[in-house]
Homo-oligomer: A and B are copies of this chain.
Amino acid sequence: MNLHRTPIQVESAVQHVMQHKPAVTVEEIGLKQSHGRILAEDIQATHAIPPFPKSPYDGFAISAADTAKASREAPVTFLVTERVGAGQRASRPLRSGEAVRIMTGAEIPEGATCVAMFEICQTIERADKTYMTIKRKMENGQNIIGKGSETEEGEVLVLSGTRINPGVQALLATFGYANVRVYRKPRVGVYATGTELLDVDQPLEPGKIRNSNAYMVMAQIERSGGEPVYLGKLADDFDTCYRAVKNSLSEVDILITTGGVSVGDYDLMPDIYEKLGAEVLFNKIAMRPGSVTTVASLDKQLLFGLSGNPSACYVGFELYTHPFIQSYLGSTNPYHKVINAKLGSDFPKPNPFTRFVRGFIAYEQGNVRVYPAGMDKSAVVTSLARSNVLTVLSGGTRGYKQGDDVYAILLEDNEGAREFHL
């Protein structure tokens, strides 16, 4: 076992991971199932929007020329020939002197050049016919939403790699995408290693704790858009772990292990990577927690060796595994968004290495504040329940004060970012 480890910087570690380009695959799914997935095709306008000139109001479609001499003193009268609702069409072109009663969203009849709203018209019933009078001049095109005025046919509206939200789903429906091509979710396997681990349904035993990391990581995988595959827990025995890891690789696209990456007597992952013939991208990062986070590659697969410490495991996942899952999903914005924020409370610990602290964001009078958690006992636990950012506390300081400028990594922002810089 090679105990010599050279720490690399966080950004550099992220680059090492993201240089690996997974072989993404595409699947076609029903539109109704597509919310939250990543588009694997551009959405193109298959027709103009609106596809025909339409009325934005309820009113009468007429020829503006017929109103040229209309005034208070000399109202112009039209014969109302028919009524057209949305989805209906006039039975024939409009002639001079005729009006069509038209509803919001309905197609403008041929020959009509404007719509007079009900409010400015008077209706008269006479000898079984309906007439309409108007006292003002109308302009050509008035109250008509022209064909293609919102979107022209052929325009590319949303690019491949975009996450499908309600607005995108509306566009897909508009243009007849009953099925949509999206990137297949990567299957992300999770093994928790450690003889101390009990499974969630086992009673507590002396010296043991329940495997919580695997469940935490599975929720993180889901949040990142992957499909979590729980592989179980492994005792700290080389042969058992080696066989389990080796056999699982054909079952999953990405493999995560928690624990066993440190340099203790029972930290087996470095030897397992070696025996597998995997190339270790890095095994030491200049960060806290999670400095022992190790990533290895084997035949285009990435193996993420996350720490067994819960905070380190959480942070390692979000910094390194999250963008790789997003890369598998073909996202154009694979990284978490990093924003500037003010620190909401003191963080008095000296900080030799850059620290990533779970916490939450607060919006105060237009400013963004982040509150790192873990300052007192109870906060550790409640922070777990509330965390939606990682606060970045750069290394080389004796501590941070409330109001200091820091970066915050947004964990639950769906937009993501094209790049990652600290």
Report A's interface with B, CB cutoff 8 A.
31-32, 34-36, 47, 50-52, 58, 83, 85-89, 101, 103-107, 149-151, 155, 157-158, 162, 164-178, 194-197, 200-204, 206-220, 222-223, 228, 230, 235-236, 262, 264-266, 308, 310, 314, 337, 339-342, 358, 360, 363-368, 377, 380-388, 405, 412-415
Contacts and interface: CB of A to CB of B under 8 A. Distances in A.
Contacts of A85: 195-196, 236, 265-266
Among A358, A383, A385, A412, the one with the most B-chain Cβ atoms within 10 Å of its Cβ is A385
A219 B262 CA distance: 44
Contact of A87 (B197, B212, B217, B387): B197
Contact of A219 (B165, B200, B204, B388): B165
Given A150-B381, A166-B216, 5 more contacts: A58-B265, A85-B265, A85-B266, A165-B387, A367-B368
Contact of A47 (B101, B204, B222, B364): B204
Contact of A265 (B34, B103, B194, B382): B103
A368 B342 CA distance: 12
B157 A382 contact: yes
Contact of A228 (B32, B202, B262, B380): B32
Contacts of A89: 206-207
Contacts of A386: 167, 415
Contact of A266 (B86, B165, B230, B337): B86
5 contacts: A86-B196, A176-B203, A366-B367, A386-B415, A412-B412
Contacts of A366: 339-342, 367-368, 405
A323 to B, nearest CB: 16
Number of copies of this protein chain within its complex: 2
A38 B392 CA distance: 29
Nearest to A151: B381
Given A87-B208, A381-B150, A201 B178 contact: yes
A85 B207 CA distance: 10
A381 B157 contact: yes
A170 B207 contact: no
Given A88-B195, A105-B308, A195-B85, A384 B171 contact: yes
A262 B162 CA distance: 35
Contact of A207 (B106, B194, B213, B337): B106
Given A223-B35, A366-B340, A413-B412, A213 B170 contact: yes
Nearest to A87: B196
A270 to B, nearest CB: 15
Contacts of A107: 206-207
B167 A384 contact: yes
B176 A204 contact: yes
The 9 closest A-B pairs by CB, nearest first: A87-B196, A167-B384, A87-B195, A170-B216, A173-B215, A166-B219, A339-B363, A86-B196, A173-B212
B149 A86 contact: no
Nearest to A83: B265
B212 A264 contact: no
Contacts of A342: 366
